[in-house]
């Protein structure tokens, strides 16, 4: 069976058993000193710190690096997000949305308090600096979009995923109408967004919604093309999986889809050298870096770039007055560009 290509995750993933077997055999073949040289820290350092944190709660042994990594890998399938990352090396619409879904987070918090939270749900939702930055970024985007929600405007989310970014804003001040448009390459994502919208739309008759299956890398985005259609486009979770060339193509397509004066809100993961290190927990970052490098190999890790590079790419696509809004750890800055 053939699968559509998604930039954000591998479709047609191996089974969990296969992915876990692959991870085990990669760990068996691992040259620990080379891994340490790449990471820039010793595995013994990470294990010593986490022995105190985790040994009493999870079946992990801390005496041998390969054994530790294998046991870590075996914990991944106990978390839904962990399972998806292990198999697909990225996040689809459903997995990404868990990070911003307060009800899901509430369930995990309950399990954390009762001591039943799987290790990787604990690490992904409460510990890893990169994923905590993702959560903070969501709030930064929403504050920026909220301040631009006006009567008779048209806001788009691309890729929309479940479109929680637009669907959970406050529209009670809208007196006439506002249009929300979701575009995603995955028909299942569009269905998920449409379903989530049903609750919101029932409560506010002034919101109009529209859904498109589209490709951000294709000029016009959809057939027929969306040209000068939007006052605002928000985009999370696509450019971090794209090459520089694809980013410029994507930004140019968004630029063409914006009305004059329209705004594009996006973000990018930056390399560790650009972090606000006095605000990042170095132990937590080390474990995150180890999990990414030795167990998951996420697709986004190949495309990290400084915010200034993203600014230059947005400017190349035609955007002006590009602002950079950092998150507190400096990991996932938001960028806002304007179409003149």
Residues forming the site for ligand SAM (CB under 6 A):
6-8, 91-93, 96-97, 159, 161-162, 184-186, 189, 215-217, 236-238
Cα separation values, 290 from 9, 32, 174, 303, Å: 20, 11, 47, 18
Nearer to ligand SAM, 188 or 320 (CB): 188
Q: Which is nearer to ligand SAM, 184 or 231 (CB)?
A: 184
CA–CA separation, 336 vs 314, rounded Å?
A: 9
- What is the nearest approach in angstroms of ligand SAM to the Cβ of residue 265? 11
Residue nearest ligand SAM, Cβ-based = 161
CB of 243 to ligand SAM, least distance (A): 12
User: Whose structure tokens read 């995750």?
Assistant: 9
Nearer to ligand SAM, 192 or 330 (CB): 192
Give 19 or 216: the residue with its C-beta nearer to ligand SAM.
Answer: 216
Among 322, 325, 327, which Cα is nearest to 340's? 322
Nearer to ligand SAM, 43 or 81 (CB): 81
User: Least distance from C-beta 116 to ligand SAM, angstroms?
Assistant: 26
Q: Which residues pair with 232 in a beta bridge?
A: 155, 263
What are the respective helix, strand and coil percentages of the chain, to the nearest 5? 50, 15, 35
Nearer residue to ligand SAM within complex by CB, 215 or 231: 215
Q: How far is the CB of 76 from ligand SAM (least distance, A)?
A: 18
Q: How far apart are CA 133 and CA 328, in angstroms?
A: 8
Element (H, E) at 239: none
Give me the least distance between CB of 41 and ligand SAM, in Å please.
28
CB proximity list for 50: less than 8 A, separation 6 or greater = 60, 62, 283, 287
Residues 313 and 322: their CA atoms lie apart, in Å, by 10
Q: C-beta of 237: minimal distance to ligand SAM in Å?
A: 3
Q: How far is the CB of 290 from ligand SAM (least distance, A)?
A: 23
Closest CB 19 distance from ligand SAM, rounded Å = 19
The residue length of the chain stands at 340
DSSP reduced 3-state for 267: strand
What H or E segment, with its residue span, contains residue 95?
A: helix 93-98
**Type and span of the H or E element at 18:** helix 16-29
Complex with ligand SAM: residue 4 or 271, whichever CB lies closer: 4
325 membership: H or E segment, kind and range:
strand 320-325
The distance between the two most distant Cα atoms of the chain, rounded to a whole number of Å, is 65
What DSSP element (H or E) covers 59?
A: none
Q: Closer to ligand SAM by CB, 8 or 286: give it.
A: 8
């Amino acid at each position: 069976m053939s699968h559509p290509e998604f930039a954000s995750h591998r479709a047609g993933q191996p089974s969990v058993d296969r992915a876990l077997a692959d991870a085990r055999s990669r760990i068996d073949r691992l040259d620990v000193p080379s891994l340490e040289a790449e990471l820039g820290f010793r595995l013994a350092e990470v294990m010593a710190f986490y022995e105190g944190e985790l040994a009493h709660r999870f079946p992990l042994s801390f005496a041998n690096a390969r054994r530790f990594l294998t046991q870590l890998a075996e914990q991944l399938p106990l978390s839904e997000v962990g399972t998806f990352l292990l198999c697909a090396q990225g996040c689809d619409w459903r997995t990404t949305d868990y990070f911003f879904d307060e009800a899901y987070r509430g369930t995990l918090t309950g399990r954390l308090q009762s001591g039943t939270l799987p290790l990787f749900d604990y690490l992904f939702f409460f510990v890893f600096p990169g994923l905590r930055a993702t959560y903070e970024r969501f709030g930064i985007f929403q504050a920026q979009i909220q301040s631009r929600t006006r009567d008779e405007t048209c806001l788009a989310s691309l890729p929309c995923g479940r479109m929680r970014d637009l669907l959970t804003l406050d529209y009670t001040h809208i007196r006439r109408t506002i249009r929300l448009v979701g575009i995603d390459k995955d028909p299942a994502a569009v269905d998920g967004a449409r379903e989530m919208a049903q609750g919101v739309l029932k409560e506010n008759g002034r919101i109009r919604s529209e859904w498109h299956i589209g490709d951000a890398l294709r000029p016009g985005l959809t057939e027929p093309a969306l040209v000068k259609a939007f006052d605002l486009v928000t985009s999370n979770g696509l450019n971090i999986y794209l090459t520089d060339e694809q980013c410029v193509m994507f930004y140019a397509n968004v630029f063409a889809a914006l009305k004059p004066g329209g705004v594009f809100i996006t973000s990018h993961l930056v390399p560790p050298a650009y972090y606000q290190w006095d605000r990042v927990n170095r132990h937590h970052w080390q474990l995150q870096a180890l999990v990414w490098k030795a167990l998951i190999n996420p697709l986004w890790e190949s495309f990290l770039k400084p915010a200034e590079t993203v600014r230059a790419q947005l400017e190349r696509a035609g955007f002006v007055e590009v602002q950079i809004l950092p998150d507190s750890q400096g990991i996932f800055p938001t960028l806002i560009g304007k179409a003149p």
